[in-house]
Amino acid sequence: MRGLVRRIPQSMAPKRATPVITVKVVDDITAGSRTATAPFPCVATVIIWGAGGGGAGNNADGTPTGGAGGGGGAYARIRLNYGETISYTVGAGGAGSSTGSGAAGGSSTLTTRTHALTATGGAAGTKGTSGGAGGVGSGGDVNRTGATGGYNGTTGGSATYGAAGAAGSGVAGGGAGAAGFSDDVGLIGSAGTAGQASSSALAATPGGGGGGAANGFNGGGAGGVGRVLIIYTRALT
């Protein structure tokens, strides 16, 4: 029997355990600056959107108005140590105007030891000139641009891999859609709000552009607030 090798049937061989995945999520849509701390050694998926701009109004004087641009976006996967800090800012939505051009949306930012991401807000819709340009992402593994707002009754733009713009009405341009990552992580920003014959509603979060207003004293729509999304993921073996 010397030298006999015992053969263990494959069905009885020890099997490698399947790793247990631990996930924690920070999802912030409140304008302002804050910090987050890695709860364990991990890879963090971070996605940020700038805020949408505010639409223009004409105070019933008949001048064409522009919808605002959608917020830009940036996405990255970042390796973090336990306790490492992420500093970030969620951009505030731009205010709409009842008598003239709106206000630009605020930028969202996210900074770690190794990365600095920025997603600028959409530009304001203007009175008598144009729709606002979309915000721009930078510093990420993937960076995306928001769409441009409509003008003088035209539909706001739809962002590539992102959200759709909204229809215009009369001489009011529609708000634009925010940046998106539907081709990668399956997430998109929000659509713009429609240009209205009277006044336009608040755009959705994150980053939708406000629509212009044609005859309303309540004016163009405010832009949607930005967003910072952090997904911490750890595999336990």
Q: Is residue 209 part of a domain?
A: yes
pLDDT score at 173? 93
Residue 76 lies inside a defined structural domain of this protein: yes
The pLDDT assigned to 237 comes to 57
Cα–Cα distance measured from residue 90 to residue 108, given in angstroms and rounded to the nearest whole number: 5
Q: Does the pLDDT of residue 197 top 60, yes or no?
A: no
pLDDT of residue 8: 44
pLDDT of residue 143: 97
Percent of the chain residues topping a pLDDT of 90: 68
Of 86, 28, 94, 29, residue with least CA distance to 57: 94
Q: Would residue 174 count as lying in a domain?
A: yes
For the cut 50, the answer to whether the pLDDT of residue 146 exceeds it is yes
Q: Considering the chain, what is the average pLDDT of its residues?
A: 88
**pLDDT of amino acid 62:** 86
In three-state form (DSSP H/G/I as H, E/B as E, the rest C), the secondary structure along the chain is CCCCCCCCCHHHCCCCCCCEEEEEEEEECCCEEEEEECCCCEEEEEEEECCCCCCCCCCCCCCCEECCCCCCEEEEEEEECCCCEEEEEECCCCCCCCCCCCCCCCCEEEECCCCEEEECCCCCCCECCCCCCCCEEECCCEEEECCCCCECCCCCCCCCCCCCCCCCECCECCCCCCCEECCCCCEECCCCCCCECCCCCCCCCCCCCCCCECCCCCCCCCCCCCEEEEEEEEEEC
Residue 10 lies in a domain: no
Domain count, the chain: 1
Does 1 reside within a domain? no
Q: Is residue 2 part of a domain?
A: no
Domain hosting residue 173, numbered range? 18-237
Residue 141 scores a pLDDT above 70? yes
Q: Is the pLDDT confidence value at 19 over 70?
A: no
For residue 196, what pLDDT is reported? 64
Query: How does residue 184 score in pLDDT terms, banded at 50, 70 and 90?
Result: confident
Q: Sign of torsion, CA 114 51 129 155?
A: positive
Which residue in 159, 233, 157, 143 sits closest to 195, CA to CA?
157
28, part of any domain: yes
Q: 14 pLDDT band (50/70/90 cuts)?
A: low
* Residue 188 near residue 163 (C-beta atoms within 8 A): yes
Cα angle value 58/159/213 (rounded, 5°): 10
Task: Give a yes or no: residue 11 inside a domain.
Answer: no
pLDDT value of position 219:
84
Q: Percent of the chain scored above 70 by pLDDT?
A: 84
Question: Using 50, 70 and 90 to split pLDDT, how confident is the model at 93?
Answer: very high
Query: Is the predicted pLDDT of residue 199 greater than 80, yes or no?
Result: no
28-78 confidence digits (pLDDT tens)? 999 999 999 999 999 999 999 999 999 999 888 889 999 999 999 999 999
